[in-house]
Structure 1
């Protein structure tokens, strides 16, 4: 019993004030900057996993209204600038996890996919 009391009050022990464990890529501080997102990206569609996502994105059908124009790279090594994304096979292997929404008003930013690599980039 004394050992249990000592473990509960020892420094570094579990406390109730610690936040729940979430993946490191899901945490962000400050406003979301879509122009800094590149590399491997996993697009989450389950709204129940919103808290594990870095941000919320809307896939815009028109390029004129998108904040970022995206070109899908086959290799993560070539996705080294804004607008160049490589699809991650799973959430755990992605640099960024983004929730896809169908409502533009709930999104942090909008993207549009292009087939031409030189058109990819940030519009802001």
Structure 2
């Protein structure tokens, strides 16, 4: 009984541990979105409610001439090592980039067009 009273008194008079700093939410670097630096595994999100979890917004352009980036779909993530070479990610958690697909071109950060020729893939911006 005496030892439990002594332990309780010791714990009551001990200084409180320092509060830990809050963990910062993972955010992207400030500044404009650079579509020419996007490569690797990409997950295209279609639910507008998840917009805050996305790296940016993209419009899938039906015409090659008006697209900012020509994209070639790679089967393997290891081969998607340059701009315009994207591998489809099976889920958002496994993707390097998550992009929200919008239906209105004016609401997109950039536009893409899928190409069937690997050597055509890349960025068209100067």
Q: For 2:33 and 2:118, how far apart are their aligned partners in 1?
A: 24
- How far residue 28 of structure 1 moved from its aligned partner, in angstroms, is 3.2
Structure 2 distance, partners of 1:74, 1:13, is 42
How high is the TM-score relative to the length of structure 2? 0.82
Alpha-carbon shift at residue 80 of structure 1 (Å): 0.2
Larger radius of gyration: 2
Compared with structure 1, are the counterparts of its residues 11 and 119 closer, same or farther at alpha carbon in structure 2 (3 Å cutoff)? same
Residue 109 of structure 1: aligned partner: 110
Structural RMSD (CA)? 2.0
1:81 matched residue in structure 2: 82
Question: What TM-score do you get using the length of structure 1 for normalisation?
Answer: 0.83
**1:13, distance to aligned residue in structure 2 (A):** 5.3
Runs (5+) with no aligned partner, structure 1: none
Q: Match for residue 11 of structure 1?
A: 19
Structure 2 unaligned residues grouped into runs of 5+? 1-11
Q: Deviations over 1:39-62 (max 9, x none)?
A: 000000000000000000000000
1:1-124 mapped onto 2 (5 Å cutoff): 6=16, 10-12=18-20, 21=25, 24=26, 27-124=28-125
Partners of 2:75 and 2:21 in 1: how far apart? 45
User: C-alpha displacement at 1:103, in angstroms?
Assistant: 0.4
Q: Is the 8 A contact 1:28 1:54 kept in 2?
A: no
Q: Distance in 2 between matches of 1:82 and 1:13?
A: 37
* 4+ aligned runs moved over 4 Å, structure 1: none
1:29 deviation in Å? 1.9
- Whether the 8 Å contact between 1:57 and 1:100 is mirrored in structure 2 is yes
1 CA distance for matches of 2:100 and 2:84? 17
